[in-house]
Structure 1
Amino acid sequence: MTILYVLHTTNPGNGASVAFMSMLQGLIPLGVTPVVVLPDQEGIYHELKRQGVEIICSRYRMSTFPYLKGMKNKVLFLPRLIARLILTHQAIRNITRQAKECHVDMVHTNTSVLSIGYHVAKRLSVPHVYHIREYADKIGLHIIPSQHTLVSQLGAPHSYAICISRDLQAYYRLSDNNRSVVSYDGGDTQQEPMPHNKKEPFFLLVGRVQQAKGLELLLEAYASYHAQIQRPYPLYIAGGIADAHYYHRLIAFVRAHDLDESVNFMGQRRDVDQLMQRAVALILTSPYEGFGLTFMEAARKGCLIIGRYTTGVKEQMDNGKELEGTDIALAFQTTSQLASIMIDVTKHTPNHYDLYRERAYRTVCSEIYDQKRNVQRVFDFYNQIIQREKNETKNNSSIPAAIPPHTRER
C-alpha cells in the first residue's frame, strides 16, 4: 500500500520526527510504500533522501495561530496569519497535484496540529489518519480557527486516528470510537543491558524551552530546593529555545533568585543519551505530556526519573506499577513535592534508587512498548481502514437509487 505521510517539521530532534522515522523503518519491510511530505529540505529530509524515500516538498506551517507574546509578535500577528493561510492554500493544491501521480491509498498526518493532510485526502477521495501526539490548545497550540475544527475533522467520514496514549484518546473522546486505536511510540527494538554508569551530581531536564514543558514549576521547585540544601546539585536544561520571550522570563527568575551559577541552559544537544546515563535523575515537569518519549529514553539509559504525575507520564508510571507491582519512578504533582524529592535524592547515594531504575528499565523493555509490536499495530490498522472503506463503498453502491416521485407506481 502507498501511504502519503504529512509532517509538520523536519527537525531530527523533535519527538514526532524521532517517532515517525522509527515507525517508518518498521513499516517499509511490511509492504508500505511511503511518500513523505515535508515543509523544507532540512533535517530528516537528507536521511529520507538517502534511503530513497519519495519526497514532496512544499512550504507550509502548522495549522495554528502565530505566537502573540511580546510586542513584536503582536504587531506581526495579522501579517503572519494571512501568510500562513496563503501558504496552506498553496500547499494543499501543490501536494494534491503531485500526490495524484503516486496513487496513494491513504494520507497519514504525523501530528494533530496540521490540517493540510486532511484536506489533501478529501481532494484525493482517500481516507485520512491523524496521528494525535499532543493536547494542542492545552500546550499553547491554538488551532485555526478553533479546537472544534480538529474535533469535527476527527468525526468526519473517512477520518481515523492513532493516539499515542489512552489519555489522549480519552481527551479527544475517541475511547469508544472504532476508528481510533492507541499505539505507543515504542522505542529502540535492540534491547541492550541497562547502563550502570557512575552517576554525577546534577539534575537534568531534556526538552525545548517553552511553556508547555512546565519549566516555571521546575525553577520554582529548584529555588526552594537550593535554599534548603547546603551543597545543592546543579540543574541542566538540554533543549533548544522554542520561545524566546518565555526563555527571557525564566532567565529573569534565575537571576532574581541568585541561581546563575546553578542553572545551566545547555541549548540543543547531541549527547542527550550520555547526559541521561550520567545524571542523578531526569525531571519531567510538563503538565500535558502526550506520551513521554523522554521518559522511555531515560529509563533505557538507566536514569532515575522524577515525573509529574499527570497525562502521558502518569500513564507510563501506572503501566510500570501494574507490571512491576510497585513504583518505577518518583512522582510529584506540586512544586513543594518536587522540591522535597530533589532534597531526598541529594541526601541519598545514587544506588539507593537502583531498584527504581531497574523496574523502569524492565517496564520500557516490556511487550507493550516493543516497537515491532506497535508498528504491526499501525500496519494492521491501515489494513482495517482499507477493508472498511471497501465495504462501505460496496454497501453504498448496492443501495438502489431513489425512484423519482413522478415515476413511482400508484
Structure 2
Amino acid sequence: MMKILHIINSLNIGGAETLITNYLIYAKNNIKTDINDLCILYDSDTFLYDRLFRNGITIYNLRLKHKYDIGAIFKLIRLINEEKYDIVHVHLFPALYFCSIASYFTKKINYIFTEHSNYNSRRKYIIFKSIDYFFYRKYRKIICVSDNVKNELIKWLPSLNERSVVIYNGILEKRGEISFIEKNFEYDILFVGSLRSNVKGADILLMALRHIMNKFDKAVIVGDGKLKNDLINLRNKLGLKNKVEFLGFREDIETILEKSKVFVLPSRWEGFGLVIVEAMSKGKPIIASNVGGIPEIIKNGKTGILVEPGNELELANAIEKLLNNKKYAAYLGENAYNDAINRFSIETYVKNLRKLYMSLKI
C-alpha cells in the first residue's frame, strides 16, 4: 500500500487541476490499496473542488492569503510528517518551491514534480537558472507531460535529464456511441481555455473569425480570467457581437462539446493541451496551433489540423474548410476519437504513474 499526498496551488479551472481531479476520482474508485490525499495552497470555490468533495477525497486547504506566503512551508512540514506519506507529488509553481524547502524537514519521503508547461517567465532571466536548480534538485523524479516539455526543461537545466520522464496526461472518458455524421449542432466553433493571459490565443481566434464572419452562425468561448473584458471589447470592435458568445466557466464542458461542430485552440505555447484530448474523446474535428506538445497529440491531417501560432488567416481558412467539408470533418473526428481512447485514457495515465511510484519504493 502507498500513501500519497498530491499538492497543487488551487483547484481553479485549468489542465493541471483537471488532470489531478481525474486521477484522484479514478484512483478512489479503482485502486483500493492506495491512499491519495490532496493539499491545495489557496481557496478554490470551483466545480472541481465540489467533484472531489462529492467523491470523498480528503482535501487539506492551507488557505494562504497571498501567493508567496512562506507560512505554507511550515504547514506542509507539519501535514506531511503527521500523516506519514510515502510520496509527495507536486504540481505547478510556487508549490514547486514550497515543497522543495519542506523536503529538508520531512525525512524518508519521495518527492516528485510534474512539469506541465514548456515555458515560464523565470526562464527569461539567467539568475533563475541556479535558483531553479536548487529547488528542482530535491525531486527524485520530474514528470513531463510531453516530449516537448521535457526537451525545454532539459535545455534550461541539463542536469535534470536522468531524472525526467514523460507521462502523457489522461482524461476520464465516458465511452458511449459517438456519431460522426452531420447533426443539428448549436455551435459552429468552440474554444475552451483560460482567459487569465493571452497564452491560449482567444484573441487570435477572434481575429480569425472576422475574416469568415459570413461563413458561420455562432462561436462560443468557454473560460474566464482578467482578460475577458478586453476580449469582449475586441469582439465588439471586430463586429462579432452577434456571432461570438462568452460563456464563462462551465462545468458541462462535455455537453457543450457535443453541441459543437469544430473545436479550436490557437495557443501561443502549450505544454500538452488536455482540453484537446477531451475534444478528441467526443469525436470533434480539431484545429490547434503547431506549437509545444500539441503536435504530439494531433497528427496533422489525420486527427486534426495544425496551424502556425498567431497566423489568423491560416486559422480562418482551416475553420472554413471544416465547416464546408462535412466528410473531412467526420474523418478527423473519428480518427481523433480512436486515438484519444487508445493513447490518452486515465487508465493508461494511472498505470504509468503507479509504475513510477512503485519504482521509488524499491
Match of 1:32 in 2: 34
* Percent of matched pairs sharing the same residue: 21
C-alpha displacement of 1:375: 0.7
Is the contact made by 2:8 and 2:92 (CA closer than 8 Å) also made in structure 1? yes
- Which TM-score applies when normalising by structure 1? 0.76
Match status 1:214 vs 2:201: yes
C-alpha displacement of 1:234: 2.7
Q: Distance in 2 between matches of 1:329 and 1:281?
A: 10
Match of 1:60 in 2: 64
Q: Distance in 2 between matches of 1:55 and 1:236?
A: 33
C-alpha displacement of 1:233: 3.1
Determine which structure has more spread, i.e. the larger CA radius of gyration.
1
Q: Distance in 2 between matches of 1:270 and 1:37?
A: 22
Distance 1:202 1:370, change over 3 A: closer
C-alpha displacement of 1:49: 4.4
Q: Distance in 1 between matches of 2:98 and 2:243?
A: 44
- Runs of 4+, deviation exceeding 3 Å: 25-28, 41-55, 140-143, 145-152
Within-5 A mapping of 1:168-207: 168-173=149-154, 177-188=161-172, 190-196=174-180, 198-200=183-185, 202-207=188-193
Within-5 A mapping of 1:3-402: 3-11=4-12, 13-28=13-28, 29=31, 31-38=33-40, 39-40=42-43, 42-43=45-46, 44-60=48-64, 83-85=66-68, 87=69, 89-114=70-95, 115-125=97-107, 126-137=109-120, 146=128, 149-154=131-136, 156-173=137-154, 177-188=161-172, 190-196=174-180, 198-200=183-185, 202-209=188-195, 210-226=197-213, 229=214, 231-240=215-224, 242-243=225-226, 246-318=227-299, 327-333=302-308, 334-348=311-325, 350-366=326-342, 368-387=343-362
C-alpha displacement of 1:278: 2.0
Over the residues paired in the alignment, what is the CA RMSD in angstroms? 2.8
Is the contact made by 1:195 and 1:277 (CA closer than 8 Å) also made in structure 2? no
Q: Give a deviation string over 1:230-253, Cα, whole Å, max 9, x none.
A: x4333210112x12xx33332332
- Which TM-score applies when normalising by structure 2? 0.85
C-alpha displacement of 1:141: 10
Q: Give a deviation string over 1:76-114, Cα, whole Å, max 9, x none.
A: xxxxxxx543x2x11111221132111112211122442
Letter matched to residue 128 of structure 1: Y
Letter matched to residue 336 of structure 2: A
C-alpha displacement of 1:256: 2.3
Letter matched to residue 307 of structure 2: F
C-alpha displacement of 1:170: 1.0
Letter matched to residue 383 of structure 1: M
For structure 1, list consecutive stretches of 5 or more residues without a partner in the other structure.
62-82, 388-410
Is the contact made by 1:235 and 1:264 (CA closer than 8 Å) also made in structure 2? yes
Is the contact made by 2:11 and 2:17 (CA closer than 8 Å) also made in structure 1? yes
C-alpha displacement of 1:358: 0.8
Number of corresponding residues: 346
Q: Give a deviation string over 1:151-188, Cα, whole Å, max 9, x none.
A: 4422x154321111111111101898332221111123
Q: Give a deviation string over 1:39-63, Cα, whole Å, max 9, x none.
A: 33644445444544443221237xx
User: 172-181 or 293-302: which moved more?
Assistant: 172-181
Is the contact made by 1:136 and 1:142 (CA closer than 8 Å) also made in structure 2? no
Distance 1:386 1:332, change over 3 A: same
User: 116-125 or 195-204: which moved more?
Assistant: 195-204
The 3-state SS of whatever aligns with 2:104 is helix
